């Protein structure tokens, strides 16, 4: 039986949300108490924000009437100012509040950026493995995602990207630290992509959702120090990982004031304004949780090191890249990662996403890899994960 109303064909052809698809694999499967499920499928904090931040939000909910009303479409002035100040300080450049928009999460920031840049029939370059929600939004809009295969080090090549640019290409997208590979893109590599985008009249969308968990010290890049950077760069950020605000949906988009007029049209149409309580929480976190966040970063980096050590010791397994919340791992088994990931649920009680969810269907590399989101498992669970993977047969 079919629905009477016609479906949008590009939406109907878009893949189902991968994390939700993977969760459906758990239906009807029981996990005994002595071998509970190890879930490494999604990189989102599972704990609530620190108590002090929750108290600040609760007080706002009780005592600030405006916390329950519509706010400015582009976000509250105080948070936009704080983001501008933080990015100016962190990147050694000059970002003004008028160059900042607050969004309902970083995914919405990406959707807004793309909507200002491209229309159906245009092209956007995505390094592979790609973040599946980026690919899904392009598919929904009838925009062609042009795959840019990364090398064995999981770093994209600007020279190869240059050869992929066609007359309808509108942007290059970089995610660093990367989802799904965890790779941290060197500053000189990011700079080369900026030079390429600028020379070809393209936008460079730089998604730095995981910037707070970068293992390096110093500037991750110098793009915001360059004259006229905002004619090329659109920078994205998320407060969800830093302050455990996933359910409150708070992200940021940094771009030119001219582009902000177009971003405002999009945001007003899809959300009217970002969450008031989420913005209040993000602002409080920026002002009060710097030391706490540094501790969170140290813990994530320790888990990264433990994951690399444990999985690298498995015969035939290879950690190709790891950082922030993720490890991109090559498995030694004969079957495709699509089948392997589903079998891992029933055979060893592990939920992970197959590499095929992050790659074009015709790219054989997807079948050889898994994404392991290690941020939500501690050292004991990481060791258990390795033991269970060691026990896989096939």
pLDDT in tens, 64-79: 999 999 999 999 999 9
pLDDT at 1: 52
pLDDT at 87: 96
Q: Report how far apart, in Å, the C-alpha atoms of 189 and of each of 32, 49, 192, 194 are.
A: 47, 34, 5, 9
Give the confidence band of 393 by pLDDT, cuts at 50, 70, 90.
confident
Domains and CATH numbers, the chain: 9-48+292-390 (3.90.1150.10), 51-288 (3.40.640.10)
Cis ω before 177 (30° cut-off from 0) = yes
Closest CA to 289 of 91, 50, 55: 50
Task: Find the mean pLDDT for residues 248-265.
Answer: 97
Give the confidence band of 219 by pLDDT, cuts at 50, 70, 90.
confident
pLDDT above 80: residue 350 = yes
Task: Find the mean pLDDT for residues 82-95.
Answer: 95
pLDDT at 3: 64
Task: Find the mean pLDDT for residues 222-229.
Answer: 95
Closest CA to 303 of 390, 208, 351, 373: 373
Model pTM score = 0.95
Do the beta carbons of residue 250 and residue 53 sit within 8 Å? Answer: no
Question: Residue 328 and residue 43: Cα distance in Å, rounded?
Answer: 13
Which tokens hold the place of 306?
């433990």
Give the confidence band of 96 by pLDDT, cuts at 50, 70, 90.
very high
pLDDT above 80: residue 282 = yes
């Amino acid at each position: 039986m079919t629905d009477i109303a016609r479906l949008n064909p590009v939406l109907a052809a878009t893949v189902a949300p991968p994390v939700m698809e993977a969760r459906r694999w758990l239906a009807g499967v029981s996990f005994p108490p002595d071998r509970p499920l190890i879930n490494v499928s999604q990189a989102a904090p599972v704990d609530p924000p620190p108590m002090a931040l929750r108290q600040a939000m609760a007080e706002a909910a009780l005592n600030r009437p405006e916390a329950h009303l519509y706010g400015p479409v582009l976000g509250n002035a105080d948070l936009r100012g704080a983001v501008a100040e933080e990015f100016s300080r962190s990147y050694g450049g000059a970002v003004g509040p008028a160059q900042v928009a607050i969004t309902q999460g970083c995914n919405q920031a990406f959707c807004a950026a793309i909507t200002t840049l491209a229309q159906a029939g245009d092209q956007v370059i995505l390094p592979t493995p790609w973040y599946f929600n980026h690919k899904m939004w392009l598919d929904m809009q009838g925009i062609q995602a042009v795959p840019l295969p990364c090398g064995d080090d999981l770093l994209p090549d600007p020279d190869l990207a240059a050869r992929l640019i066609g007359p309808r290409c509108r942007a290059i997208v970089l995610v660093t630290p990367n989802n799904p590979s965890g790779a941290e893109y060197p500053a000189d590599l990011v700079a080369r992509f900026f030079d390429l985008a600028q020379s070809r009249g393209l936008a460079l969308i730089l998604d730095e959702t995981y910037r707070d968990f970068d293992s390096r010290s110093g500037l991750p890049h110098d793009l915001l120090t360059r004259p006229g950077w905002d004619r090329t760069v659109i920078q994205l950020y998320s407060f969800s990982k830093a302050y455990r605000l996933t359910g409150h949906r708070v992200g940021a988009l940094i771009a030119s004031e001219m582009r902000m007029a177009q971003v405002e049209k999009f945001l007003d149409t899809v959300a009217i304004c970002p969450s008031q309580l989420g913005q209040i929480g993000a602002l409080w976190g920026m002002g009060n949780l710097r030391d706490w966040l540094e501790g969170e970063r140290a813990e994530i980096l320790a888990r990264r090191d433990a994951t690399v050590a444990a999985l690298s010791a498995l015969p035939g397994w290879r950690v190709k890249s790891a950082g922030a919340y993720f490890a991109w791992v090559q498995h030694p088994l004969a079957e495709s990662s699509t089948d392997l990931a589903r079998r891992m649920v029933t055979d060893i009680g592990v939920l992970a996403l197959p590499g095929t969810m992050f790659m074009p269907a015709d790219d054989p590399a997807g079948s050889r890899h898994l994404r392991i989101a290690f941020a939500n498992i501690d050292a004991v669970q990481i060791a258990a994960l390795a033991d269970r993977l060691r026990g896989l047969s096939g």
